[in-house]
Amino acid sequence: MNNSDHTSTSEVEATSAPQYAELPMPAAAPIEPHDPHWCGLADSVQSGWFLQETDEVLRGFRIERDDIVLDVGCGNGGATMFAANRGAHILCSDVNPGRVNELVQRILADTPSQSCRGLVCDSTPLPLPDACVTKVMILEVLEHVDDPAAVVRELYRVGKPGAQYLITVPDPVSEELQKEFAPASCFEKPNHIHIFQREEFAKLVTDAGLVIEHKHAHGFFWAFWMCLFWASEQDLAPPWHPLLTSWTQTWGILLSMPEGHRIKKVLDEFMPKTQAIIARKPF
């Protein structure tokens, strides 16, 4: 454990990333209970994300110092920073050169990462040799791409035998509900062009040759926050509408209650924001 003191902005961003990669993150503002990202952090951690003590991005997916980690579609780099803070070698890719450069600079300046390289590409193909990485993360990306199966095959190619994969996409229950409220453009290119049913998502992973180790779903807090967001008709940036603040407070109270985790579990299973699969490339 090399990072007991990481409570800074980067960690806040880290939590928001999996549910919410496409959202602009708040600038380095003080953390307060009314901030949905603060609440989202507490919520994600209760669900097994970003476990500082055990160096797991998600329970079952641990980053070691000697790992070579590829983060595809790194966006704001929340998960990338978590891995970089473990000292691992980092390869981060995104179609947006500005984002990639900024993230690389941040990793080199602020983390004990042993090496860091940015790749500006759309992942088909990745400019990497076969079997070169030990950990692959691709969070909330596959719903945006034309050919998800081709991307997963490409990820398979670059993984060393035994490499572990962390793959997330939005959960279909929440997506179908958002569809009723969201402007049509949210479900058109370059936004979400696929909704993956849970079995379909698993099949996508196994068809590429990966072996599933864990399935996971969480994020009722964000799923419902999004429903309310459409009602609030505000921009996707603070200050947040009183409606969103009130929901954040509601969830914050729930998380702090001794029995709150039971309620969270039931609601997370019913309508998660995100479904995650941890898988491995066979030896």
Partner 1 sequence: MMLNFFHRLFVSPAIMMLPASGSGSGSQAEESEWPEGYDPTHFDAFMSGWFQDETNELLEGFPIAPEDTVLDVGCGEAPFIYFCALRGAEVICADIDAEKVAFIEQSLRKTPARAIRSIVSDANPLPLPSETVTKIIAMEVLEHVDDPQQFMRELLRVGRPGAQYLITVPDRRSEMLQKDLVPPVYFQKPNHVRIFERDEFEKLITDTGLIIERRAYYGFFWSIWWVMFWACKHDINAPWHPVLKQWMKTWDILLHLPKGQNIKKTLDKFLPKSQAIIARKPT
Q: What are phi and psi of 254, to 5 degrees?
A: -60, -45
Does residue 263 bind partner 1 (CB under 8 A)? Answer: yes
Residue 105 Cβ, how far from partner 1 at the closest point, in Å?
40
CA distance 228 to 170: 17
CA distance 215 to 258: 26
Q: Of 34-42, 52-60, 128-136, 254-262, which segment contacts partner 1 by CB under 8 A? A: 254-262
For the chain, how many residues are written?
Answer: 283
Closest CA to 137 of 55, 207, 78: 78
Q: Using CB under 8 A, count the residues that bind partner 1.
A: 26
Write the single-letter amino acid at 36: P
Write the single-letter amino acid at 268: D
Do 13 and 6 meet the contact criterion of CB atoms below 8 Å apart? no
Q: According to CB under 8 A, which residues from 119 to 178 bind partner 1?
A: 177
Among 65, 189, 203, 262, binds partner 1 (CB under 8 A): 262
Does residue 181 bind partner 1 (CB under 8 A)? Answer: yes
Q: In the stretch 222-251, what mask flags binding to partner 1 with x, by CB under 8 A?
A: -----xx-xxxx--------xx--xx-xx-
Residue 269 Cβ, how far from partner 1 at the closest point, in Å?
9
In this complex, which beta carbon is closest to partner 1, that of residue 3 or of residue 245?
245
DSSP helix/strand/coil, 225: helix
Does residue 115 bind partner 1 (CB under 8 A)? Answer: no
Please compute Rg for the chain using Cα positions.
18
Beta bridge partners of 94: 120
Residues that bind partner 1 (CB under 8 A): 177, 180-181, 227-228, 230-233, 242-243, 246-247, 249-250, 253-254, 257-260, 262-263, 266-267, 270
